[in-house]
Amino acid sequence: MKPTAVNSLAEPFTLPNGTILANRIVKASMSECLGDFGFAPGARHVRLYRRWADSGASVLITGNIMVDRTAVAEVGNVVVDDERDLAVLNEWSTAAKSGGAQVWAQINHPGRQIPATLNSSPVGPSAIRLTGSAGAYRTPRELTDSDITALIGKFAETARILVEAGFDGIEIHAAHGYLIGQFLSPATNVRTDRWGGSRDNRQRFLLEIVRAVRAAIGPATPLAVKLNSADFQRGGFGEDDSAAVARALDAESIDLLEISGGTYESVAFMGDTRPKASTLDREAYFLEFAEQIRADISTPLLLTGGFRTAEGTGAAITSGAVDLVGIARPMALQPDFPRHLLAGTTPATIARQRNTGIKRIDGLGNIVWHTTQLWRLGDGKDPAPERSPYLTIAHYLSRTVPYTLYRLTR
């Protein structure tokens, strides 16, 4: 008998390293922006993840945890580059696991994607600034060979500390135009040394990070990579590139490959880049790409982006195209959404675009709106689904402006 959508989502799944996941639903990464002025997590992370601990998801993937405290992408990012915050990190992981879910830490470096208000001297594979960024983002300094080697070590050290702090797995963020994605793209990596030029050279940074992290955390800890299907930029990282990188990762010791897409310059992951009609019918933004690479790799696939209904979420699993589905924004409004999907009691999320009518700001505005819902959860409050996007922007500025002024005076 063909499994129903609910049954398919409730099936356990075993990763290549033997780790068993209770079901096929993953709470995908959302940047919480709850870190303090010193980049440390705190009580609000603990409250937020304790709320999600009973969500029904088998895995909770954290938002960006940066590997270098000179490089944060957003106000409120957490940085783990030494053991100074080990105690509160342990409180965070313990709270997240209190309902039986696993918690995986997503590690990242923004590269050139740092607002000038947070860092006026960013770094990148090449000295190429974000297009259309005016003065918001500065031209990055091109990393030296020794810089790159040091950064690989930082990723490994951050992963080691997080596992010591009780996080069950690690996800390396190689998507959305951050530093690893900058190395992968020919539009942002025009180097002529061993780190640029050919596709093999452009993917070297990612593969060396994977190897260093695996060596630091050992074979028993799940290791995932988040990869763009494409960055949707002319001359950039396309689906052929992504498929080749996926095949290269398949030869490494990773346990899961998460598929996403877009960058700050083409914001598919923000929900602004409309996918093809055939993909829209099945909800998932990047499902067609997952179907294409499925035959070429044995690494399990996690697909994130666009899932909103029980039918569409279950269909992605029953189709055989992916093994796990990632749900993000719905869990900002319905913290127990996966549990209702598994029980068959909620056919669709109430999550939707919250637009101001000003197209230029609505992509970022939707991220801000959902971020402030996470803040409410972190403050011990319930979500506010009908909250005005204008009030949300005011709330966001009330918290971020003091932080930004503090960074500017450092």
50 alpha-carbon distance from chain centroid: 20
**Residue 207 domain-assigned (yes or no):** yes
**Residue 128 domain-assigned (yes or no):** yes
For residue 280 the two structure tokens come to: 């829209």
**Residue 23 domain-assigned (yes or no):** yes
Q: Does an H or E element contain 26, and which?
A: strand 25-27
State residue 232's pLDDT score. Answer: 66
The number of folded domains in the chain is: 1
Residues of the domain holding 180:
5-352
State residue 358's pLDDT score. Answer: 60
Contact 25, 58 (CB under 8 A): yes
Output the domain CATH number for residue 18. 3.20.20.70
State residue 156's pLDDT score. Answer: 98
Q: Which residues contact 169 (CB under 8 A, 6 or more apart)?
A: 19, 59, 102, 103, 104, 105, 221, 222, 223, 224, 255
**Residue 380 domain-assigned (yes or no):** no
Rounded to an integer, what distance in angstroms lies between the CA atom of residue 213 and that of residue 29?
Answer: 19
Along the 410 residues of the chain, how does pLDDT read in single tens digits? 345 667 899 999 999 999 999 999 999 999 999 999 999 999 999 999 999 999 999 999 999 999 999 999 999 999 999 999 999 999 999 999 999 999 999 999 999 999 998 988 999 999 999 876 556 899 999 999 999 999 999 999 999 999 999 999 999 999 999 999 999 999 999 999 999 999 999 999 999 999 999 999 999 999 999 998 877 666 678 888 999 999 999 999 899 999 987 555 554 444 444 444 444 344 667 888 889 999 899 999 999 877 888 888 888 999 999 999 999 999 999 999 999 999 988 777 776 666 666 665 556 677 888 999 999 999 999 999 888 888 888 888 888 888 888 877 77
Contact 111, 178 (CB under 8 A): yes
Closest by CA to 9, choosing from 346, 339, 351, 345, is 339
The residue assigned the tokens 């960006």 is 64
**Residue 13 domain-assigned (yes or no):** yes
**Residue 378 domain-assigned (yes or no):** no
State residue 274's pLDDT score. Answer: 40
253 alpha-carbon distance from chain centroid: 20
Kindly report the pTM of this predicted structure: 0.92
**Residue 374 domain-assigned (yes or no):** no
**Residue 381 domain-assigned (yes or no):** no
Rounded to an integer, what distance in angstroms lies between the CA atom of residue 257 and that of residue 362?
Answer: 29
